[in-house]
């Protein structure tokens, strides 16, 4: 299902939502310029649990890089559809959640959701050497907040029908 729009009106300009979308767009543009398959970039700025737990890997990363990766992984995307899907979902649901929380609290909520999802991934896969990237954890937190705050709101969705013979 692809959300098209929601029925919950928003009475504010979602400044932080637009800023987050802009930052994600800038980082994605940078990714395109350096190449979407640049593994060194993903290992440097993605969340790689082995950076913290496997000595042979952690010796190549500074403490600053390890701490920064907990935030930076949220702004990286694996491809165009990954980027568009996350930003579209943030656009649909972010305005209402930002209106409810206020801009500063919404930014904190978004970042905390992303950090918690990264930490959960870390604890489930502590020795994984695969970089985790994307805003999906933070976006899932925004969607969860939306569904709790506006349980009676309707969401117009597109359901693609794919017939496989």
pLDDT value of residue 52: 94
- B/e letters for 124-153, b = 16+ CB within 10 Å, e = fewer, are eeeebeebbbbbbbbbebbbebbeeebeee
Q: Are residues 93 and 146 in contact, defined by beta-carbon separation less than 8 angstroms?
A: yes
- 95: tokens are 């305005």
Domain boundaries, the chain: 14-147
* Residue 6 parent element (H or E): strand 2-6
- 100: tokens are 């409810």
Binned at pLDDT 50, 70 and 90, residue 111 comes out as: very high
Q: What mean pLDDT do residues 36-46 have? A: 92
* Residue 156 parent element (H or E): strand 155-158
Binned at pLDDT 50, 70 and 90, residue 128 comes out as: very high
pLDDT value of residue 103: 96
Is a pLDDT exceeding 90 seen at residue 162?
Answer: no
Least Cα distance to 119 among 57, 83, 45, 69 occurs for 69
According to CATH, the topology of domain 14-147 is Rhomboid-like fold (1.20.1540)
pLDDT value of residue 97: 97
pLDDT value of residue 125: 94
| Residue for token pair 């992303």 | 114
């Amino acid at each position: 299902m692809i959300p098209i729009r929601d029925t919950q009106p928003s009475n504010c300009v979602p400044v932080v939502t637009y800023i987050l979308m802009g930052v994600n767009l800038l980082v994605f543009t940078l990714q395109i310029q350096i190449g979407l398959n640049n593994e060194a970039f993903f290992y440097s700025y993605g969340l790689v649990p082995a950076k913290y737990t496997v000595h042979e890997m952690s010796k190549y990363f500074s403490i600053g890089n390890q701490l920064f990766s907990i935030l930076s992984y949220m702004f990286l995307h694996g491809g165009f559809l990954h980027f568009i899907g996350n930003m579209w979902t943030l656009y649909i649901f972010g305005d209402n959640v930002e209106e409810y929380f206020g801009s500063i609290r919404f930014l904190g909520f978004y970042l905390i959701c992303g950090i918690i999802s990264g930490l959960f991934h870390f604890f489930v896969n502590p020795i994984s050497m695969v970089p985790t990237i994307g805003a999906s954890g933070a976006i899932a937190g925004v969607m969860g907040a939306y569904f709790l705050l506006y349980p009676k709101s309707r969401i117009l969705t597109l359901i693609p029908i794919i017939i496989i013979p």
